[in-house]
């Protein structure tokens, strides 16, 4: 968290510097990266070439399907580039170099990044490719899967229901879902709503469980229901002490989704849209499998140890793999998606454009979705008051600076999203690769960018 806070401070300076420039047209740098506010009217983004290239080539990204194609934007051909835009443009060269170096070290095919300050239209960036087989450039208009960052939204909706008197955090989950909500689970009668949100329910994390992968292998093309997830976890049995031992798991957040539906009488997707997405103006955010983006997400890949485990367990063949500089990746795009895009649900199912993710993280804590008392509850209401994980968010105070953050990882994607209240700044970054070495993960990417961005002050 301390390294992440340092990175976020640098990104705050970037937002401050760039927001002070004229955003009427994209600011284009000589190395081919374009930063634009994430609006529908924005011109197609110019992205860096794939990380496989020795030097980045300027490549025009395809226009969104809702827009007429626009000509490629280059530093040489854009008359709108003015001296007023130069301070922001100058930051892109070292920024691009740092990101491309990290991509080369990790093997990440593509990266998208967004920063928003004070709720302004986010600055968005993209590097690399969304598809290794076709070399399609990654752009901020690509939808990505943000995984467990979804948990922050689910927790916020539950806390809204608590404020409305419809849910009691310390009431048993069985009060809302019935006695058979986790059939056979020895703690089913005692697990509270707070336990679900605080990861003290004792449930197994099915998302990284070999037995669950074995189950998944037999039905990759068949969606899995929340009830089936709970049946699996309940049969597996507790893996931690109820109410006192933190053990991260997605199972509890799937149960929280069922609770939202039981209390409101609406689908969890409808509640998230009405209570969060629409209120924040997030028109490119979706909770699968109830709803999907209008076009496919960027393609995702699994590498490292995950790839070696995932392949044999799921019975994948060479048709599901692709190589890059000697590394072998599992190509998620070649696999059936029905189970993968239904298992996460309210624990990890959101798919969105990266600009929306930055706005979402800020909106949860800046008074748009939760009031001050609810923010305090979300950030400090863990069953163990000394625990920094909060309810659906990780929080820590560093030198007087609170930072709220949550990561996410699903097959094919790795995300980090955070909010810095002191500077009213939201940040989100997604890589279309799962299985990056933990010593050089996405939070380390943010750290590597911090010294560059801090020079903008």
DSSP 8-state code for residue 204: -
| The pLDDT value given to residue 447 | 67
Distance separating alpha carbons of residues 335 and 310, to the nearest angstrom: 12
Q: What is the three-class DSSP state of 368?
A: coil
Q: What is the three-class DSSP state of 350?
A: strand
Q: Which of 323, 345, 304 is nearest to 441 (CA)?
A: 304
Let me know how many helices (H) and strands (E) the chain has, helices first. 15, 18
Q: Which of 163, 132, 144 is nearest to 50 (CA)?
A: 132
Q: Which of 46, 33, 36, 27 is nearest to 100 (CA)?
A: 33
Q: What is the three-class DSSP state of 211?
A: helix
Cα distances from 456 to residues 87, 89, 184, in angstroms, run: 8, 11, 57
The structure tokens 């049995």 sit at: 237
Rounded to a whole number, what is the largest CA-CA distance in the chain?
Answer: 69
Q: What is the DSSP string of 258-325?
A: HHHHHHHSS-HHHHHIIIIITTTT-TTEEETTT---SSPPPP-EE-HHHHHHHHHHHT--GGGEEEET
| The pLDDT value given to residue 25 | 33
Q: Which residues pair with 60 in a beta bridge?
A: 46
| pLDDT tens per residue, range 133-154 | 999 999 999 999 999 999 999 9
Q: Which of 380, 426, 428, 418 is nearest to 1 (CA)?
A: 418
Q: What is the three-class DSSP state of 108?
A: coil
Q: Can you say how many angstroms the Cα of residue 440 is from the centroid of all Cα atoms in its chain?
A: 17
Distance separating alpha carbons of residues 53 and 31, to the nearest angstrom: 13
Q: Which of 163, 164, 165, 158 is nearest to 193 (CA)?
A: 158
Distance separating alpha carbons of residues 216 and 63, to the nearest angstrom: 36
DSSP 8-state code for residue 219: -
Q: Can you say how many angstroms the Cα of residue 243 is from the centroid of all Cα atoms in its chain?
A: 27
Which tokens hold the place of 20?
Answer: 């002070």
Q: What is the mean pLDDT of each run of 10 residues along the chain (457 residues)?
A: 52 49 35 41 36 33 32 32 39 77 92 92 94 95 98 98 98 98 97 98 94 91 97 98 96 98 98 98 97 95 75 75 82 92 98 98 96 95 87 80 90 93 91 87 75 47
């Amino acid at each position: 968290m301390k390294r992440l806070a340092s990175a976020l401070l640098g990104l705050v300076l970037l937002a401050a510097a760039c927001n002070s420039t004229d955003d009427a047209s994209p600011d284009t740098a000589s190395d081919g990266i374009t930063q634009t506010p994430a609006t529908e009217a924005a011109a197609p983004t110019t992205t860096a070439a794939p990380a496989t290239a020795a030097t980045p080539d300027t490549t025009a990204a395809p226009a969104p399907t809702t827009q007429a194609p626009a000509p490629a934007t280059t530093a040489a051909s854009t008359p709108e580039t003015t001296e007023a835009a130069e301070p922001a443009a100058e930051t892109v060269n070292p920024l691009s170099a740092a990101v491309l170096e990290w991509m080369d070290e990790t093997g990440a095919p593509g990266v998208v990044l967004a920063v928003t300050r004070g709720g302004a239209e986010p600055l968005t960036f993209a590097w690399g490719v969304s598809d290794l087989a076709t070399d399609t450039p990654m752009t901020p208009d690509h939808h990505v899967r943000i995984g467990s960052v979804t948990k922050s939204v689910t927790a916020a909706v539950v806390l809204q229901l608590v404020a409305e008197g419809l849910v009691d955090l310390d009431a048993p989950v069985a009060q809302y879902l019935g006695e058979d909500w986790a059939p056979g689970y020895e703690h089913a009668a005692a697990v509270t709503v707070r336990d679900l949100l605080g990861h003290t329910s004792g449930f197994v994390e099915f998302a990284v469980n070999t037995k669950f992968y074995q189950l998944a292998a037999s039905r990759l093309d068949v969606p899995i229901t929340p009830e089936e997830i709970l049946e699996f976890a309940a049969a597996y049995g507790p893996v931690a002490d109820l109410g006192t031992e933190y053990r991260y798991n997605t199972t509890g957040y799937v149960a929280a989704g069922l609770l939202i539906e039981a209390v409101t009488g609406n689908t969890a997707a409808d509640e998230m849209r009405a209570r969060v997405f629409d209120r924040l103006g997030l028109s490119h955010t979706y909770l699968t499998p109830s709803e999907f983006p209008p076009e496919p997400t960027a393609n995702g890949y699994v590498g490292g140890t995950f790839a070696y485990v995932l392949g044999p367990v799921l019975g994948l063949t060479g048709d599901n793999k692709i190589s890059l500089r000697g590394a072998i990746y599992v190509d998620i795009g070649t696999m059936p998606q029905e189970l993968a895009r239904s298992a996460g649900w309210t624990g990890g199912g959101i798919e969105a454009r990266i600009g929306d993710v930055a706005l979402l993280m800020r909106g949860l804590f800046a008074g748009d979705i939760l009031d001050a008392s609810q923010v305090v509850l979300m950030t400090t209401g863990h069953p163990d008051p000394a625990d920094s994980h909060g309810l659906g968010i990780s929080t820590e105070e560093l030198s007087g600076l609170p930072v709220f953050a949550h990561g996410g990882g699903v097959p094919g994607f790795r995300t980090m999203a955070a909010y810095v209240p002191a500077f009213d700044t939201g940040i989100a970054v997604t890589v279309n690769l799962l299985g990056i070495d933990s010593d050089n993960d996405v939070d380390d990417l943010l750290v590597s960018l911090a010294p560059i961005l801090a020079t903008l002050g």
